[in-house]
Amino acid sequence: MLIRVKAENFKSFDSVTELSMVSSDKIEGKTNHSVCVNKVKLLKNAVVYGANASGKTNIIEIFNFIQICLRDGLPLETAGFFCKNKESNAEKPSSFEIQFSVGERIFAYGFSAILKSHSIIEEWLYELTNGEKCIFESKKNIVPHLNLADISENERSRFITYAEDYTAGSTSLFLAELNRNKRYSPKSPLYVFKLVYDWLTDGMKVYRTNEHVSTFEMFYNNQQLQELNKLIRTFDTGITDSYISDISLEELKEKLSPSVYRKILENIKKLKEHNDFSDGFSLRSDKDFINVKMNKDDEPAVTVIKLKHENSFYDFELSEESDGTRHLFDLIDVLMTNTEDVVYIFDELERSLHPKLTEHFLRLFNDKYTGLKVQLIFTTHEASIMDQALFRHDEIWFVERDAEGSSNLYSLDRFKEKYDRKISKSYLEGRYGAVPVFKSFDGFSTVEVDGNGTI
């Protein structure tokens, strides 16, 4: 589970910015909104509000950036990701640290880099389960040092080899190198590197605007499909059932652009050339989901998703549904996960959804994952869900730009609000900041037009 994340000198965040999931001791209600991990109470939700261009999306980008750097190293475009409100920030380190738990173990991992020069200058991994214990530190021009107890000479020698091969100051992270084509026994102390890397790259499910959650695998499992259909009916969209339907390659051709269709045929050809008839592939676009399954003797089996509507004679394809309905299937996928130690991170969770649908999803999420290690972090403009019946004070956050143009992140908890106050109304009235402040504009002038349309 996520405990906290910090960043400094990144995009609109100048000074150290922290989003904490640690439960406030002062709040006694909604005990089902927290989970205890190694005596630390962690919140299930964090909802972030703010005006347009306040920096909300950059909260999501912190998580996304950490994952990109671990998977691929520092991308070239990060040269412009430092906070640009000060000239000196170009040469100042940008730092990132994330604290999280895996099972009952607690870790802190972070790194700093000069983004303009595209160089990692420091990296660290600590275990915080029973006190603070450094596992490794890596600094520019210094070989990383291991601080693990009860480790065999063979394992220590193995680590030293990896450390000597790593070039600090490069664009890749040492933790990534420790997991690149490496295998560790679960019984080995070195397995901690896989444990940490796997959670950071897969335990955080980051979805930027218009990125999709669902692979629609649930449509190909009868039990999951039944559960999905029960869930979709509760949202009152008019959809009563969903299922997969076979179509021919000719019908597929009519659905897709010529270039996309050619690529599908190329993939089919490659699989046939390799005699790989047990495999297939899926295609996900903004409006459609298409699955292609290879057959040895016949043409590939192509399936799409169809939806039944109440009182409608004909069924509908996914592409015929609204953007909100398609987005709803992504959110339903979140409700059907059986994985723990995972945090879902959304930019604009409510995109294209009616406020009541968003509220219904949030209630289902908290009901289903009561006591489980599943968290939800999201940005939103939807003030109607800023409700004390839905969220605790320490689960609601605001982002606001200061006079210098830097983003500041703070929690509703600092306002010491009464529990009978309608906080959504107070927010829109500007009590907590993080709302647009309009300036007058004198550029418009009155124009008179006569009856003939002449000015």
Say how far apart CA 239 and CA 243 lie, in whole Å. Answer: 11
Q: Determine the pLDDT at residue 422.
A: 73
Helix (H) or strand (E) holding 60: helix 56-72
Q: What angle do CA 319, 323, 324 make, to 5 degrees?
A: 130
Does the pLDDT value for residue 268 go beyond 60?
A: yes
In the chain, the amino acid numbered 136 is: F
Q: Determine the pLDDT at residue 21.
A: 97
Say how far apart CA 203 and CA 213 lie, in whole Å. Answer: 14
DSSP bridge partners of 95: 8, 112
User: The pTM is what?
Assistant: 0.89
Does the pLDDT value for residue 440 go beyond 80?
A: no
The model's pLDDT over 391-415, given as tens digits with 9 standing for 90+, comes to: 998 999 999 999 999 999 999 888 8
Detail the DSSP E strand segments found in 383-438: 396-401, 407-411
Q: What is the 3-state secondary structure (H, E, C) of 134-179?
A: EEEEEECCEEEEECCCCCCHHHHHHHHHHHHHCCCCCCCCHHHHCC
- Work out the pLDDT band at 245, boundaries 50, 70, 90: very high
Instruction: Spell 381-393 as b/e; 16+ CB within 10 A means b.
Output: ebeebbebebbbb
Averaged pLDDT, 68-94: 94
Averaged pLDDT, 373-378: 97
Q: Determine the pLDDT at residue 430.
A: 77
Say how far apart CA 335 and CA 214 lie, in whole Å. Answer: 11
Computed over every residue of the chain, the mean pLDDT equals 88
Q: Determine the pLDDT at residue 204.
A: 97
* Coil/strand/helix, residue 323: helix
Say how far apart CA 56 and CA 399 lie, in whole Å. Answer: 6
**Longest pairwise C-alpha distance within the chain:** 95
In the chain, the amino acid numbered 140 is: K
